Chain A
Amino acid sequence: MHISDGVLPTSIALGAGAASLVLATWSARRSPAEDLPKVAVVSAAFFVASLVHIPLGPTSIHLLLPGVVGALLGPAAFLAILLGLVLQSLLFQFGGLTALGGNALMMGLPALACGLLFQTLRGQSRKRQAIVGALCGGLGVLGSALIMAVLLALSGEDFLGIAKLALLAHLPVVVIEAIVAGFIVSFLARVKPELLEAPFTLRKTPPVLDTERKR
């Protein structure tokens, strides 16, 4: 789900670019400087996770995971998503150079919102975390689809039809993403629950290396 070059009028493309620049600066300021290389490594993992394809009827969809990125990275999620989008457009031409700002808003804003939602509703029990994770996973994709539709609709009345259709086409994706996000969060709650407690860029104490803990 990306808007490619040439769709958005230049004014909207530049405006979205400026807005995502502001958000990215905020996102980088909120995380300590020494955590940024770590965010980069984790965004590479999310990038690879988004290459996983799931069969859906006659076609297949690839995971987007904005909700999970938000839940695990907190404020740094926007930066991670921007990185992923830049790499996607550099490597595969998914999305585009001039539409980068619009795409970043589309995926990044829902991620930030879902991160906040997950941290407030999370609770302690594993079941509840999985359900909240699924909710965030679904809402994240829904939010992205809505922002995409708004961006397209802002581009002129000619794009209204395609905006509605894009929104409709994403409804099955919302369901699948919610289920997979629920399973991911429930897996993390079982295997490494400290990942869900707080985004690592916000933790006061540096996390202990696994090798150190064993000693």
Chain B
Amino acid sequence: MTEQQTIHLAAYWLPLLGCGVILCSWLAMRALRRMITTRQETPNEQIPTIDAEASGRSLIHSWDPRFKIIALLGFAFCAVSLQSPITILIALLLTIITLAIARIPWHRPLRRLLAMNGFLVMFLVVMPLTVPTHSGDTLVVFGNWQMLTCNLRGLELALIIIGKAWCVALLMEPLLATAPLGATLEGLTRLGLPGKISEMLLIAHRYLFVFLGEVQRMRSGMEARAFRPGRRWDTLRDLGNFVGMLLVRSFERTHRVYAAMQARGYTGTLPHHHQFRGAMSDWLQTTIWLGLGLGLVLVDRLGVGGF
């Protein structure tokens, strides 16, 4: 059993390091945000389009959605099972290569990574401070600040979590953006998802944008009546009424929508438009992906090659 190692740093390192890290990450975030907003088609869009890149041409685009879903979902589960930093780095590299093959504009995956920041930064800050100390850990103590002893194992754990989360987030773009949403959902139905559920997803996705327009209209109405988010209690009451109104309208709309669907011949299922043909290349690509994922898990667990 090895004792834990302790690195002593003078107390002034703590504010120095803290400020440095905060400043660097703030600057990086700001630069990234600016890059993303300048690349957007319309700067005010609140909800990105899922399948914006569906018309592109690449190896990933021509991949049958059914096979693509199985391969990438399987790979995602393999990726979150990894435990060593090196295999996670390899998995990240593979997903980045996929993004390059699919020729997806980089601001889309970047946006996904930014969305997770809050949750992941919390891990990065909290884990080093709260992880219980085991033998073999390296501790960093700043002068007399025993309260703020950092455990480097916690930092490593947090970084591993961030790596895995990024890996899956980057896979989402090739998985979803390279085929029309309808095709992806039909692929899921062929794979055994009940047709009702994929239909509900399609309807919910459609009406998201309708209600978003409604919210914007209601908001400009509120602002025209001099609503300013401010004094706590009044703001909460106004927001409660706002959400209540949105719900009332949605419940009224849902019956109208259903009546309209029936008037257009809806009998319980939406018609299918997509033809799926599994070619040799689909099988090959899927086998390669699943093989890579399982291989990484094997290397990770058995420690092959001294990892």
For the complex formed, measure the closest distance between the CB of A145 and the CB atoms of chain B, giving whole angstroms: 14
Q: Is the interface of A mostly helix, strand, loop or mixed?
A: helix
Contact between A7 and B247 (Cβ–Cβ < 8 Å)? no
Cβ-neighbour of B245 out of A43, A72, A162, A187 (below 8 A) = A187
Which B residue's beta carbon lies closest to that of A28? B196
Contact: A161 with B268, CB < 8 Å?
no
Least distance between B160 CB and chain A CB atoms (Å): 8
A residues in contact with B123, CB < 8 Å: 7, 162
Shortest CB distance A49–B (Å): 5
Nearest B residue to A59, CB-CB = B118
How many residues on chain A are close to B (CB under 8 Å)?
74
Decide if B129 is an interface residue (CB 8 Å cutoff).
Answer: yes
- For B201, the chain A residues whose CB sits under 8 A away are 40, 83, 86-87
Most buried by A among B127, B196, B243: B243
The residue of chain A having its C-beta at the shortest distance from the C-beta of B169 within the complex is A93
CB pair A191 B115 closer than 8 Å: no
Q: How far is the CB of B127 from chain A (nearest CB, A)?
A: 6
State the CA gap A40–B204 with chains docked (Å).
5
User: CA separation between A183 and B172, bound complex, in Å?
Assistant: 38
Contact B268 A34 (CB under 8 A): yes
Interface residues in B222-264 (C-beta closer than 8 Å to A): 229, 233, 235-237, 239-259, 261
CB-CB under 8 A from A37, the residues of chain B are 199-200, 203, 254, 257-258, 261
- CB nearest to A188 among chain B residues: B244
Q: Which residue from A6, A166, A191 sits with its C-beta under 8 Å from B244?
A: A191
- List of B residues within 8 angstroms of A160 by Cβ: 130, 132
- Determine the distance from Cα of A19 to Cα of B129 in the docked complex, in whole angstroms: 33
Contacts of A89 in B (CB 8 A): 172
Complex: A116 Cα to B53 Cα, angstroms: 43
Q: How far is the CA of A187 from the CA of B154 in the complex (A)?
A: 47
Would you call A158 and B131 a contact (CB within 8 A)? yes
* Contact call B243/A184, Cβ cutoff below 8 A: yes
Q: CB < 8 Å: which of A7, A10, A52, A195 contacts B251? A: A195
From A55, A179, A192, B248 is in contact (CB under 8 Å) with A192
Query: Is B241 within 8 A of A183, CB to CB?
Result: yes
Do the beta carbons of B122 and A162 come within 8 Å of each other? yes
Q: Is the CB of B48 within 8 A of A91?
A: yes
Residue of B nearest to A192 (CB): B248
Given contacts A4-B120, A44-B250, A48-B211, whether A28 and B240 have CB atoms under 8 Å apart is no
A176 touches B (CB below 8 Å):
yes
Residue of A nearest to B122 (CB): A162
Q: Are A6 and B253 in contact, with the CB atoms below 8 A?
A: no
> Roughly how many angstroms separate A162 CA and B154 CA in the complex, as a whole number?
11
Interface residues of A in 190-209 (CB under 8 A from B): 191-192, 195, 200, 207, 209
Q: Sorted from nearest, which 7 A-B pairs have the closest CB atoms?
A: A161-B130, A183-B240, A6-B164, A45-B250, A187-B244, A44-B207, A40-B200
Residues in chain A within 8 A of chain B (CB atoms) = 2-7, 10, 13-14, 24, 28, 33-34, 36-49, 51-52, 54-55, 63, 65, 68, 72, 79, 83-84, 86-87, 89-94, 96-98, 157-158, 160-162, 165-166, 176, 179-188, 191-192, 195, 200, 207, 209-210
Could you list 13 further interchain pairs (A-B, Cβ under 8 angstroms) beyond the known A5-B80, A38-B255? A5-B164, A7-B165, A33-B268, A37-B200, A37-B261, A40-B201, A42-B250, A43-B204, A83-B201, A162-B130, A165-B122, A180-B243, A184-B243
A selection of 29 A-B contacts at a CB cut-off of 8 Å is: A4-B165, A6-B79, A6-B164, A10-B81, A28-B194, A34-B268, A37-B199, A37-B203, A38-B258, A40-B204, A47-B211, A52-B243, A68-B243, A83-B204, A91-B47, A93-B115, A94-B116, A96-B168, A97-B76, A161-B129, A162-B122, A162-B123, A162-B127, A166-B122, A183-B244, A187-B244, A188-B244, A195-B247, A209-B259
